[in-house]
């Protein structure tokens, strides 16, 4: 038996209502999927061109930032082959070529579609600072070759330049406080929040050519040249930071040996920091090429010097202390050495010490250890009581704690972001409500039409 015309119309109306509801559901789910999928990821590349080697780091962060600053994580660490770029004075082109291997690793990790928008920066530290003082034209040629290689790469090249000592220390401070969760932490309620300021720690970096001290003091910073200011995750920070060029481990050892050479007139020097039984012949010319060695090679001196170890820790400490000018700070509580201003120490400190991983440097372990003790105790002002507040680390939370992560975090403040997640959620709520309202309205109209057809009024 065939359907009546009313039943036929009713079937059509019900089909239309079902199709409308299904369409509404599909649109709802499609938009929900686009909202709930992870936000686009942004990437950045930073080269740390240190005195002894160059490292590349790739960082990533979600496009929707927290209070204008990215939640950054380390995606790749790569050490370039060869020494630091300051060593390529005889062939500057090799400085640029030495970066290609790590750069290729970085580009393989980052999606090709994002290469052009990936900011890339090379910051050179103490090794290139010293070369710039010694021979600025050589330093400029090396920077030119580095820039040539990086500018040819399909990235957003931001430049290759000297990183000021103040910035090196301050960015390292950002890094360590970020990885320790002292700038931003994820709460149990599922939100990002700023931890108490008491959790902030100081950063102390002992490199090959320089050493940096950075922390937030308990009072004002009285010397503007040592103050770095940042806004991170919506909060303001004023950080004390100072870099001591020529007080890195390698340069201290060079200066120490040069002083012993000055006191030797027989072509033989007794080194109090080398262990007894050690004996070696070293070339003198490279020793006096460093701008940190302010004396010239003694007239008539042989090209090579024989060095014997004396194994005398007391004499070793005395020789190391002569490299510091402690008398310039006598009677001043806010001074370290060489007349440098420093507020009173406050809080915990994380110390990053760079050591060459090679057995030929075993001879220098005694001198290196005593140099660190002298710098921390007599230089920076740590004591037996405050010593437990120091932690020696090269990494924290699986992340290298140099300056590069801090640099990238600060840079994310200037990189445009997509709409924050909260705003996206608000827009989604408005859209979803509109879709549901349209669906309900259409359903109501169809339902009313069906009632009118089936039960018409008399």
Hey, which residues are catalytic here?
168
**Is 236 within 8 Å of 410 (Cβ atoms)?**
no
Block residue for tokens 């302010």: 294
Tell me phi and psi for residue 365, to 5 degrees.
Answer: -65, -40
Q: Mutual orientation of helices 365-373 and 313-321 as an angle, nearest 10°? A: 60
Structure tokens at 183: 């700038």
Alpha helices by DSSP H, 76-157: 93-97, 100-109, 126-134, 136-152
CA distances from 385 to 377, 382, 388, 395 (A): 11, 8, 7, 25
Half-sphere exposure of 138 (CA within 13 A, CB side): 16
Block residue for tokens 């990790």: 109
**Is 239 within 8 Å of 228 (Cβ atoms)?**
yes
Which residues have C-beta within 8 Å of that of residue 7, sequence separation ≥ 6?
none
Q: What does the alpha-carbon distance between residue 230 and residue 239 come to, in Å, rounded to a whole number?
A: 8
Which residues have C-beta within 8 Å of that of residue 256, sequence separation ≥ 6?
273, 319, 320, 323, 367
**Is 44 within 8 Å of 110 (Cβ atoms)?**
no
The number of helix segments (H) and strand segments (E) in the chain equals 11, 18
**Is 245 within 8 Å of 165 (Cβ atoms)?**
yes
DSSP-derived secondary structure letter, 272? T
CA neighbor of 259 nearest in space, from 294, 228, 224 = 294
């Amino acid at each position: 038996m065939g359907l009546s015309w009313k039943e036929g119309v009713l079937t059509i109306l019900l089909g239309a209502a079902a199709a409308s509801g299904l369409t509404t559901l599909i649109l709802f789910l499609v938009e929900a999927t686009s909202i709930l999928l992870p936000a686009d990821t942004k990437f950045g590349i930073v080269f740390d061109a240190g005195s002894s080697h160059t490292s590349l780091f790739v960082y990533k962060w979600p496009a929707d930032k927290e209070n204008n600053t990215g939640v950054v994580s380390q995606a790749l660490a790569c050490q370039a082959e060869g020494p630091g770029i300051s060593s390529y004075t005889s062939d500057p082109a090799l400085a640029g070529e030495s970066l290609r291997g790590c750069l290729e690793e970085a580009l393989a990790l980052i999606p090709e579609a994002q290469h052009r928008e990936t900011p890339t920066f090379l910051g050179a530290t103490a090794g290139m600072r010293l070369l710039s003082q010694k021979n600025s034209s050589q330093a400029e040629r090396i920077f030119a070759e580095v820039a040539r290689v990086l500018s040819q790469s399909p990235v957003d090249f931001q430049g290759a330049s000297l990183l000021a000592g103040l910035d090196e220390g301050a960015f390292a401070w950002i890094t360590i406080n970020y990885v320790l969760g002292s700038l931003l932490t994820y709460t149990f309620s599922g939100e990002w929040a700023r931890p108490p300021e008491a959790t902030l720690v100081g950063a102390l970096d002992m490199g090959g050519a320089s050493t940096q001290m950075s922390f937030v003091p308990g009072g004002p910073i009285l010397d503007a040249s040592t103050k770095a200011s940042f806004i991170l995750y919506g909060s303001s920070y004023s950080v004390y930071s100072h870099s001591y060029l020529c007080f890195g481990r390698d340069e201290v050892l060079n200066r120490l040996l040069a002083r012993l050479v000055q006191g030797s007139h027989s072509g033989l020097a007794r080194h109090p920091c080398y262990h007894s039984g050690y004996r070696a012949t070293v070339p003198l010319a490279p020793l006096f090429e460093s701008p940190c060695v302010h004396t010239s090679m003694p007239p008539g001196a042989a090209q090579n010097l024989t060095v014997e170890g004396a194994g005398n820790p007391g004499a070793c400490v005395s020789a190391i202390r002569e490299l510091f000018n402690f008398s310039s700070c006598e009677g001043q509580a806010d001074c370290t050495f060489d007349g440098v201003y420093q507020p009173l120490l406050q809080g915990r400190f994380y110390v990053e010490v760079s050591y060459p991983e090679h057995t030929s440097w075993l001879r220098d372990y005694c001198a290196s250890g005593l140099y660190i003790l002298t710098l921390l105790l007599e230089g920076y002002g740590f004591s037996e009581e405050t010593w437990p507040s120091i932690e020696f680390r090269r990494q924290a939370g699986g992340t290298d704690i140099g300056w590069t992560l801090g640099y990238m975090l600060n840079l994310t403040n200037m990189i445009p972001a997509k709409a924050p997640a909260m705003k996206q959620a608000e827009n989604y709520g408005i859209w979803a409500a509109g879709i549901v309202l349209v669906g309900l309205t259409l359903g109501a109209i169809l339902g009313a039409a069906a009632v009118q057809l089936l039960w018409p009024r008399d």
